[in-house]
Amino acid sequence: MDQRRNPEAEETAVTPKGAEVEERPANAGQPVFAEDATPADTTSVKPTQSKAGGELVEWIKALAIAGLLVFIIRWFLVSPFIVDGPSMQPNFWNRERIIVNKIVYDIRQPKRGEVIVFHVPEEGRDFIKRVIGVPGDTIKVDGDSIYVNGKKIEETYLKKAYEQAHSAGGLYNIHNDDRSDFPNGQFPDGKVPAGSLFVMGDNRSNSEDSRMIGFIPLNRVVGRADMVFWPLSDFHFVFRV
């Protein structure tokens, strides 16, 4: 008696193990009408658009935060300044760019030997000078000798300049007039008052400083010079005694 072979059973039997088998839908062979068709997924691009939009928002946030940090750092912490003039040579040169620390003196008062930037309202500009005397100090400038509270100070930051001038038989602080020394006819009291500083330029014979303009109120101090950053060949941190 002949046995008829089942084509579908034979096809299933030879499907390799692990291969996917496509199941036939229940309505196989029936016509599909338009109203039965699944509409095209018009939202398929939305996840990509949403992701791109999210990244844009994150970039905007990051830039806003960076801008805020720059603003805070620029106006409250540090600030760039340009050295204008020769009064701080040989340690600072005309047109050099420096970074001024604006927060340090909110924590403490300036110390002797530090280089500061301060406002000079009478001239409508800022000066850069070195702190020689702090409140309560008694200052005396006699040629190249500076005395603080009766003790001569060692100015290591001007050692070479002094040596060169003295080896040539002269003074580094050339006596141009009575105001080269301190106290002088314009400022006869050598004691630094409370809330003030006595400052001098490193270029002693070519500097307009406390010998000529008097003591500097602390509330005019902008900050401390911490770094020379331009030109790059002169990049260095400011030496402090």
Residues 6 or more apart whose Cβ sits within 8 Å of residue 198: 131, 132, 133, 134, 137, 139, 182, 192, 210, 215, 216
pTM above 0.85, yes or no: no
Per-residue pLDDT, 3 = 44
Residue 61 falls in the annotated catalytic set: no
The residue segments making up the domain with residue 118 are 80-237
Determine, yes or no, domain membership for 190: yes
Q: How many structural domains compose the chain?
A: 1
Per-residue pLDDT, 179 = 85
228: domain CATH number? 2.10.109.10
Residue 129 falls in the annotated catalytic set: yes
Determine, yes or no, domain membership for 75: no
Determine, yes or no, domain membership for 220: yes
Per-residue pLDDT, 236 = 86
List per-residue pLDDT tens for the chain, 241 residues long.
Answer: 444 444 444 333 333 343 343 344 444 444 443 444 445 555 455 555 677 677 777 777 777 776 665 555 555 567 889 999 999 999 999 999 999 999 999 999 999 999 999 999 998 999 999 999 999 999 999 999 999 999 999 999 999 999 999 999 999 998 877 889 999 999 999 999 999 999 999 999 999 999 999 999 999 999 999 999 999 888 888 866 5
Task: Single out the catalytic residue among 51, 102, 129, 191.
Answer: 129
Determine, yes or no, domain membership for 70: no
Cα-flanking dihedrals φ and ψ of residue 25, to 5°?
-65, 155
Determine, yes or no, domain membership for 160: yes
Per-residue pLDDT, 14 = 34
Determine, yes or no, domain membership for 1: no
Task: Single out the catalytic residue among 61, 79, 87, 233.
Answer: 87
Per-residue pLDDT, 5 = 45
Three-state helix/strand/coil letters over the chain = CCCCCCHHHHHHHCCCCCCCCCCCCCCCCCCCCHHHCCCCCCCCCHHHHHHHHHHHHHHHHHHHHHHHHHHHHHHHHEEEEECCCCCCCCCCCCCCEEEEECCHHHHCCCCCCCEEEEEECCCCEEEEEEEEECCCCEEEEECCEEEECCEECCCHHHHHHHHHHHHCCCCCCCCCCHHHCECCCCCCCCECCCCEEEEECCCHHHCCCHHHHCCEEHHHEEEEEEEEEECHHHCEECCCC
Per-residue pLDDT, 25 = 46
Per-residue pLDDT, 11 = 35
Per-residue pLDDT, 178 = 80
